[in-house]
Chain A
Amino acid sequence: MSMIATPKEKAQLLEKSAILGRSLWDDALARLMKNKAAVISMYVLGALVILALFGPLFWVNKYDEIFDDMVLVGPSLKNMFIFGGDPQGRDLFIRLLYGLRVSLAVGVVATFVSLTIGVLWGATAGYIGGKVDQIMMRIVDILYALPFIFFVIILMVVFGRNIILIFVAIGAVEWLTMARIVRGQTLSLRKKEFIEAAQAAGLSTYQIITRHIVPNLLGPVVVYVTLTIPAVILTESFLSFLGLGVQEPLTSLGNLISNGAREMEIAPWLLFFPAVTMMITLFCLNFIGDGLRDAIDPKDR
């Protein structure tokens, strides 16, 4: 489409991004950087992500390696079991890194699934309006009434414990709020002059939605995404806790917490380290999300 864009349209776009767009985002960034909790959270989360991604490459033990003499041994330097050993004699530290990896991956991928469905659904409903809007939002209302956790449990039972399915199942139920937020924003955007200009320039509905509506939804969507990731991680851990999440020997934070809770009377470190890791991760994500919301939408504060 950019090939057909008139120089005038291009100039308008450039002007918009140069003056309005950039300064708004700059403002938001400056506000975010002033938020100490959010900035610290970004550093901590960054460190955790790097540790989860690259830590296993350099660690001495493997996540499924069994040491017969390390069964339920507390944190020690022997064999580098700094976080202790689990009931099978495996290194908790490396298992924790893998668990963090899985939890973060589930958080990001499932959120992406919900983002894609929610934004397209909400933007379409809001932009087209009328009957289509009514029907589409009625579907969202119906799905809202579902005891959705039960459907995720049924899905997990039906299709087996499959990590891809966890992504899809959680993503497929998390998109509803996103669709509502996006629809509301779209309704107000629809009447703006630049949409009228795009219509006058002869763009198709699909082009207007993907090129003009969606990019302008970025603010609220970014905020909601950062708050969805911790919610998804929590849901996955919840499933793992019930024994419906990822399968052994692979693990996730919820899995480790569940196993730790079983042994907490004789081996409290098995509960302590996974629980603390989970809490730190969730704290960071929530602080960043809250910081972003305050930065992008300061009237909420």
Chain B
Amino acid sequence: MKNGLPLVAHLGDFSMLSFALKRLLVAIPTMFIIIAMAFFLMRLAPGSPFDSERAMSPEIRQLVMQHYGLDKPLFAQFFEYIKGLFVFDLGPSLIYKNQNVSDIIGNGFPVSITIGIFALSLAIFIGVPLGLIAALNQNKIQDYSVMAVAMAGICVPTFVTGPLLALFFGVKLGWLPTAGLDLGEMTFETLLLPVVTLSLPQIAIISRLVRSSTIEVLSSNFIRTARAKGLPDSVVLVKHALRASLLPLVSYLGPACAGLITGSVVIENVFQLPGIGRNFVTSALQRDYPVVMAVVILYASLIIILNLIADIIYGMLDPKVTYE
């Protein structure tokens, strides 16, 4: 028995590696399809990035289009773009002169990712205990109150909680700044409201998830066995139930990321944060093609990678999972 274990673990590692590689291989066509869809959709849009500059004469316009390579056939442009991607060249911004897309993303991404990571941590830190409390006191007052809070978190969207929190803590009480965060100015005070607002729906979803999975696990056979052996409740919960009941949380990592990204678009608009969520909407409206593409590519790869990590962690935690 003791001899067999390392071998099994080793085999597990090997199959996991090939699983990860396979998934990464599949991710390449996925990314390609995403890039192509975003590229051609964006170009189908009526209007051009130079519409706002009314004084532009046709000749100058032609020159500008030529400068950015926008006069070439669409497929040639697409090919150029893909070629650029291989050397991490995202092109220039068409609206902000003298700024590369990489600069814009580089400025905005730290803000967005900081808020996102803090919000997710806060959501797990609060959501998991809430879910456990509810599950352990099923159909009691604790359960009902947690579920009421969770329902509120799901039904009250961030674009309502955001302004309300800003109004109350920022304007009425004057405790916290409500807007205007420059780069390098990310302090506890400026981040608190955005992070809390962004995490509220996630707290709700996570606590519901943990509650239902814990209830299911607690009624399963191996928990009954553990109890029958005479183990105290706390040991049963911590050593046996917790791992199984937190498994769904791992596979929620990918969707959580998508939810946070969506939320961040609202949060950055409400609190006027210079993140890429806000950038994306303005860029799409101004037809700043390269910026839009870069944001889509960045977030798509983020979601793909997180999903992959989630699957790998899941496999490590759940012995029932085998990698094909």
Contact = CB atoms under 8 A, between A and B. Distances in A.
Contact of B154 (A145, A268, A286): A286
Given A157-B45, A286-B154, A147 B296 contact: yes
Nearest to A142: B30
B261 A234 contact: no
B292 A154 contact: yes
Given A157-B45, A279-B155, A286-B154, A261 B38 contact: no
Of the candidates B163, B171, B258, B304, the one having the most CB atoms from chain A within 10 angstroms of its own CB is B163
A45 to B, nearest CB: 13
Contacts of B159: 237-238, 241, 254, 257-258, 261
Contacts of A242: 265-266, 269, 281
B167 A264 contact: yes
Contacts of B300: 145-147
A242 B114 CA distance: 22
A268 B156 CA distance: 17
Contacts of A257: 159-160
Contact of B167 (A153, A244, A265): A265
Nearest to A139: B33
B265 A278 contact: no
B44 A158 contact: yes
A213 B295 CA distance: 41
Interface residues of A, number: 39
Interface in B295-323: 295-296, 299-300, 303-304, 307
Contact of B38 (A151, A230, A258): A151
Interface of B: 27, 29-30, 33-34, 37-38, 41-42, 44-46, 151, 154-157, 159-160, 162-164, 167, 171, 212, 258, 261-262, 265-266, 269-270, 280-281, 284-285, 292, 295-296, 299-300, 303-304, 307
30 contacts: A142-B30, A145-B304, A147-B258, A147-B296, A147-B300, A147-B303, A149-B262, A149-B265, A150-B38, A150-B280, A150-B299, A153-B284, A154-B284, A154-B296, A155-B41, A157-B285, A158-B41, A158-B44, A234-B157, A241-B269, A242-B281, A254-B159, A260-B163, A261-B162, A261-B270, A264-B167, A271-B163, A279-B160, A282-B155, A286-B155
The 8 closest A-B pairs by CB, nearest first: A261-B163, A282-B155, A147-B299, A158-B45, A241-B159, A149-B262, A157-B284, A275-B160
